[in-house]
Chains A and B, each alone.
Chain A
């Protein structure tokens, strides 16, 4: 092979490897949740198979989101078992009254308005339709944060090229738009922004 073409090709391959393999690893930092929380165990033990046992709607229609310490303390006033995760929850957060600093995978920018009430109650979407079968797993998922933008990897999606994505992977504006187009629901800017 021509030596020049080889030099070019080596550079090219190097770029492709760096871009497709190294870049996604380096771009995202890995953080642990403050407490290892198992969804499936809780769904079984609390007798609450539905998500809205801990993630209810408030009376005015707003969504409670990630439960506050009060919800956890309803059962975990004291340690119920022997797991180190529970011990950490009770000792470091519930007993001291410090809000547990959960890392929120789907956190959107301040200028985004997403109404759970409109999507769940009016459009009739199920929790699993967007969040997947979270309740059926005890997976202790890492929180991966984009070092440049500061948002969770869940927003862009796990596929760095956004090709061949898993269903419901990604929560960018274009993901919201895709779903709206599919269901023929047109909303203006203020339908999703604030």
Chain B
């Protein structure tokens, strides 16, 4: 018999009715809804056991201890380590997203010569040629590391100059170093014993010094108190975060900090608020009043407030001889609660050397801030893990990134007590990256290797028999049987903290009141971060919220 259209329609109707009595529509609906939840382009987090390893951050001189959570060989989370004697577990805001930094789109993957891909061999022969042809300079952004010893030894052996750059915090200590004829790296601020801090624009609560060190002190002793144990007087033109948290905010006109310091000194001497010693500042209260925008009465009242509760310490943002002279007058140099020399600092710091002749080439370590510009005419060999853009360096050389470099951590610039730690390389780096030190070691293998220097330093610390190692629990140096055991404790994440300094006096000789040092660039939350890029999640702070302004980076 012939199949008619009606048969087909009825058959289809039967099919449709029947399908609902099968699992098909229900299972397909369920599966399709699951399918819509699993688009291939939505990244899935890794699976697998998470282990926690101790490390240290090397992105700035503070060297905060880290607990890094790892899964499948990748870092999946970062937090501070409460065992660190200075940070007590704090990190800067950028540190919490630093574990993602190695995959930043601006990561430098290959050697580049004038914008084109090149090889390490070419870079090496170009550098060796430059060394042979004329004077070269080696620029180090964080002197004092084992890598710095390599850089400085190379410079000494090959008659190059070694230039140790200082950041703003170190620069604030430079005047005392000059007047007392000691090295800058041997000085520090004894914040723990101070009762009044006069900060001339230094962002003490927002990125100054070691994260956590001052913020914890301030939180315990000052936050919210109308009569705090620790008085913070913030002198700066705008209401910064530090100014908001300060006991007193003194708004002054931009650039008048040093004149104010000088006039405060003259008030202190005039009203016999300090024992008269040292040079008299050539600044009257009326001069300062007109420049700063404060009334003469306000300046006098400020001077009285400064000495009301001693010890008092002034901190400048960057190098300021006038503010340093004020500290000298206040008796804050070489006394507890002031600027102190770190006790018997056992780690020899390489001395800087300078060269007057025009340079043939400059080797720039990855710790040098991106804004650094090589002298005109010098062929620049720039080591960096990330390409911040706009670099005029002829050679861009890929350096290891976050947690990819074995390094040691000498005392951070602002600390009055010496510390030492080792930052392990938790992540293996590709063969394409090299540190400046490794590069020079390849050219001259007789230079002291990093491991060798670390071992020597641990032996020095062990022999000096001072201090404690802060790991899960603090352990006195006496509890270590050998230097090797001490070294292992540091490589496992411990931090050595020296005993408090034995108040060795710091004799500063100052003939006359110093002149002004010139304008300084205003500090913002990103300027202490030396890297050319920010972690991607930092955008939460300034783009996806109005908490902070976009960091202004000076153009090179």
Among A10, A23, A65, A149, which residue has its beta carbon within 8 angstroms of that of B34? A149
Q: A19-B22, A23-B23 are in contact. Are A12 and B17 (CB under 8 A)?
A: yes
CB atoms of A19 and B10 under 8 A apart: no
Query: Quick check: is A183 within 8 A (CB to CB) of the other chain?
Result: no
Candidates B8, B38, B47, B50; contact of A150 at CB < 8 Å:
B38
User: Which residue from chain B places its CB closest to the CB of A107 in the assembled complex?
Assistant: B47
- Contact of B32 with A by CB under 8 A: yes
> Does any Cβ of A come within 8 Å of B28's Cβ?
yes
B27 touches A160 (CB 8 A): yes
Residues of A within 8 A of B28 (CB): 148
- The verdict on A19 contacting B18 (CB below 8 Å), with A8-B10, A8-B11 known, is yes
Chain A residues with CB under 8 A of B41: none
Query: By the criterion CB–CB under 8 Å, are A160 and B35 in contact?
Result: no
Q: Smallest CB-CB separation from A104: which chain B residue?
A: B47
CB distance from B226 to the nearest CB of A (A): 43
B18 touches A16 (CB 8 A): yes
Say whether A15 contacts B10, CB under 8 Å: no
**A15 and B34 contact, CB distance less than 8 A:** no
Cα(A23)–Cα(B34), bound, Å: 18
Q: Is A80 located at the chain interface by the 8 A CB criterion?
A: no
A110-B44, A161-B23 known; A12+B35 contact, CB < 8 A: no
Q: Taking chain B's interface residues, is the majority helix, strand, or loop, or is none over half, making it mixed?
A: helix
User: Is A20 part of the contact surface with B, judged by Cβ < 8 Å?
Assistant: yes
B8, B15, B34, B47: the one contacting A12 at CB < 8 Å is B15
- The count of chain B contact residues (Cβ–Cβ below 8 Å) is 32
- 0/1 string, B378-422, CB within 8 A of A gives 1: 000000000000000000000000000000000000000000000
| 8 A Cβ contacts from A131-164 to B | 146, 148-151, 156, 160-161
Contact assessment for B49 and A7 in the assembled complex, using a CB-CB cutoff below 8 Å: no
Q: Known contacts A7-B11, A11-B11: does B38 contact A149 (CB below 8 Å)?
A: yes
Does any Cβ of B come within 8 Å of A98's Cβ? no
Cβ of B35 and Cβ of A8 under 8 Å apart? no
Contacting pair A148 B35 (CB below 8 A): yes
CB neighbours (8 Å) of B11 from chain A are 7-8, 10-11, 14
- Partner pick for B45 among A18, A65, A110, CB 8 A cutoff: A110
A23 to B10, CA, bound (A): 22
Among the interface residues B6, B14, B17, which one has the most CB atoms of the partner chain A within 10 A? B14
Q: Answer whether residue B12 sits at the interface, using C-beta atoms and an 8 A cutoff.
A: yes
One digit per residue, 1 when the CB lies within 8 angstroms of any chain A CB and 0 when it does not, for chain B 249-270 equals 0000000000000000000000
With A3-B7, A7-B7, A110-B45 as given contacts, are A20 and B35 in contact (CB-CB < 8 Å)? no
B22 interface neighbour in A8, A23, A58, A148, Cβ under 8 Å: A23
- State A161–B10 Cα separation when bound (angstroms): 27
B contact residues around A160 at 8 Å (CB): 23, 27
Q: Are B22 and A9 in contact (CB under 8 A)?
A: no
